[in-house]
Amino acid sequence: PAARKYTGMVEDCCCDYETVDAINEEVLHPILQDLVKLPFFRYFKVKLWCDCPFWPDDGMCRLRDCSVCECPENEFPEQFKKPYNGLSPDSMICQEGKPQAAVDKTLDSRVFKGWVETDNPWTNDDETDNAEMTYVNLQLNPERYTGYTGDSARRIWDSIYKENCPKYPSEDMCREKKALYKLISGLHSSISVHIAYDYLLDESTNLWGQNLPLLYDRVLKYPERVQNLYFTYLFVLRAVTKATDYLEQAEYNTGNPEDDLKTQSLVKQLLYNPKLRTACPLPFDEAKLWQGENGPELKQEIQKQFRNISAIMDCVGCEKCRLWGKLQVLGLGTALKILFSVDGDSHLNQPLQLQRNEVIALFNLLNRLSESVKFVHEKGSSIEEVIKQQ
Ligand code: FAD
């Protein structure tokens, strides 16, 4: 095999490249691939038709492949239609004020209290507002090449980078801003990798396949983009492992006991995998952030920037790109919420509460990043030879 191009620690993380590739390929990738196919994880609730708050919409898509097919009402699980799995939000909120609630908490802080509808402070959408939400079967709408390019796509990325997370010019940029930039850049790399992985090679014959020159030109040629992909992967993985207690207890209920048991078992296999726990016990160390004097203000500022990024997703002019853009930004927002919970205004550590849709976004994002890391690792060391020969 060709020599490894990336060695040593992933910048600003706590695991090295070799370990990340090993745990990804041996543990996470196979589990996640199975997990996202199960009913609980394949139906994502999303508001796809929002007005773009920034520019009049001009981003029309060239290919039919841009459009998303929604699920008919009878397709997605019955449980998803009921917002709270039988528990009213009031009953849960009220518990907080009652004396027995204190007992509950001290006896078993790990007990999962049912899915709630809470707003994510890192995103622009109001997640508690169900109006105009539709369910999309993600398995029928894979993230791949759509033909969405040109000024509209460029304007979105430019505005994300320029207005919200300018590339760190030098050492004087603080860790936190650098982390936000790297998260977005890593997500951007992952989107490009998926375009290269599943590309329309010949429109006349509808031939789809890998486009390795594109993978090279957009991602592999720039070591920083590869590094940021690994960074984002480890960041999201850390959020998942940090939420272990919550995710282990959660109800993966879709009305089909066989599927639901499988979901629960795969989630546990992932969270408690001995190889993951020993080889990379702390993928990212969030305790190092927000330590400076201006930590709280900085957190607010960065939260606002991330919310702006999430609002920009409504301006993505191709429906399928918008779907995956919104899902992955919600996934990142969920990771940010878990790691820097929960209230952006204070350092109060509220107990973690996640919405079902946040968990769906989080695992689907981790799966996408895991696919990208795998493809980059497989092609990374050999591709330069291939490109030179062409
Ligand atoms: P772009 O990818 O548009 O990049 C623009 C500029 O950003 C580059 O010139 C470079 O300066 C910088 N840049 C590129 N990558 C990075 C990085 N990793 N880190 C830092 N800076 C970088 N197209 C599809 O075919 N399928 C999709 O599913 C899809 N989803 C999308 C989702 C979103 C949210 C957005 C905004 C766009 C999506 N697109 C999708 C479009 C796609 O991302 C590209 O914009 C498009 O293919 C044109 O690519 P490009 O070569 O012009 O460079």
Structure tokens at 12: 């600003």
pLDDT at 54: 76
3-state class of 199 per DSSP?
strand
Question: Considering the entire predicted model, what is its pTM?
Answer: 0.87
Contacts of residue 69, Cβ cutoff 8 Å, sequence gap at least 6: 136, 137, 140, 141
Ligand 1 nearest-atom number relative to CA 192 = 43
Count, residues in the chain: 390
C-beta of 225 in contact with ligand 1 (< 6 A): yes
C-beta of 231 in contact with ligand 1 (< 6 A): no
C-beta of 368 in contact with ligand 1 (< 6 A): no
Q: Could you give the angle at which helices 175-197 and 319-339 cross, rounded to 10 degrees?
A: 140
Ligand 1 nearest-atom number relative to CA 146 = 25
pLDDT at 388: 62
pLDDT tens by residue, 206-243: 899 999 999 999 999 999 999 999 999 999 999 999 99
C-beta of 221 in contact with ligand 1 (< 6 A): no
Cβ proximity of 113 and 352 under 8 Å = no
Low-confidence ranges of the chain (pLDDT < 70): 1-3, 50-51, 56-73, 76, 81-114, 130, 163-172, 342-350, 384-390
Closest C-alpha residue for ligand 1 atom 17: 185
pLDDT at 68: 67
pLDDT at 390: 63
Closest C-alpha residue for ligand 1 atom 47: 149
DSSP result, 320-337: HHHHHHHHHHHHHHHHHH
pLDDT tens by residue, 171-217: 557 888 889 999 999 999 999 999 999 999 998 898 999 999 999 99
0.90 surpassed by complex ipTM: yes
Distance (angstroms) between ligand 1 centre and the Cα of 219 equals 10
Distance from the first to the final alpha carbon of the chain: 20
Taking the mean position of all CA atoms in its chain, how far away is CA 135?
18
Taking the mean position of all CA atoms in its chain, how far away is CA 78?
25
DSSP conformational letter for 57 = -
